[in-house]
Amino acid sequence: MQTLLRIHFMQQWFNLSDPAMEEALHDIPMFRDFAGLTHWDERIPSESSILRFRHLLEPHKLADQILAIVNELLQAQGLQLKEGTVVDATLIAAPSSTKNQSGTRDPEMHQSKKGNQWYFGMKAHIGVDADSGLVHTVRGTSGNVSDVLEANSLLHGQEKNAFGDAGYQGVDKRPDANARVRWHVVMRAGLRRALDKTRPIEDMIEQVEKIKASIRAKVEHPFRVLKRQFGYVKVRYRGLKKNTAQITTLFALSNLWMARHRLEAKAQVRPQSA
């Protein structure tokens, strides 16, 4: 089971299909070593075994548990605080072609407009620790779901402050808002450009907006890791549940990626202090 879990992680890191993952295990000794397949006579799991393992994870929501366990381990190392949360969402494209077995597009994916361009796919909504930039909550929805609808579900319940871009205006007035959380939402671009910086009060507002923007920038890092480091730019499966499970696992792995230097530094200090 541990071998299949390690293989599952490599499959996410390198954005490999099931057949490509099996082939990589045959061709790349480093992959076999990481999976624990160190003996020449050990049987390498087939693509069907890799598929069945992933299907085992999905109905039991084990991706959520993987994220929770990773975060518990990072918190034990002092790498997550719970003072504030930054929320955001990104569009993940889905194939718009109907060239599949059923001849239809995925009915759980929908169109969404960003700027002047239309996108077809789903959204990944995340809640990120405002200090460390590590993801603690993930939600997957179709692409036409408004960001503000998911905002309060991205809070873990222990934070005092929450931050979001201008798309989250009015989030604190929603029925699911927590009265104990103070929302800091970025001013709309047009209103900010209209500020007269020569006036002390409006200049102060501008400085506050800069602080909000610097804190909110933390939420961009996990998205960059998924898309640049892991090469995840399109959904791989049909249906929200399967793709949300994959995205959740990817964000758990992105937390480890972003924290790797701090974890290495702590590991080097520990033997010296002992």
Is 80 exceeded by the pLDDT of residue 70? yes
Pick the more confident residue, 215 or 95: 215
* 93 and 130 housed in the same domain: yes
Q: What is the pLDDT of residue 1?
A: 83
pLDDT tens string 92-130: 998 876 555 666 788 889 888 777 888 899 999 999 999
In a domain, 74, yes or no: no
In a domain, 110, yes or no: yes
The residue to which tokens 């991205």 are assigned: 154
pTM summary value: 0.88
* 219 and 159 housed in the same domain: yes
Task: Report the pLDDT averaged over residues 199-222.
Answer: 92
**Residues spanned by the domain of 4:** 1-57
* 175 and 120 housed in the same domain: yes
Provide the strand spans (E) within 55-116. Answer: 84-93, 110-114
In a domain, 70, yes or no: no
* 100 and 50 housed in the same domain: no
In a domain, 242, yes or no: yes
Position 158, amino acid: Q
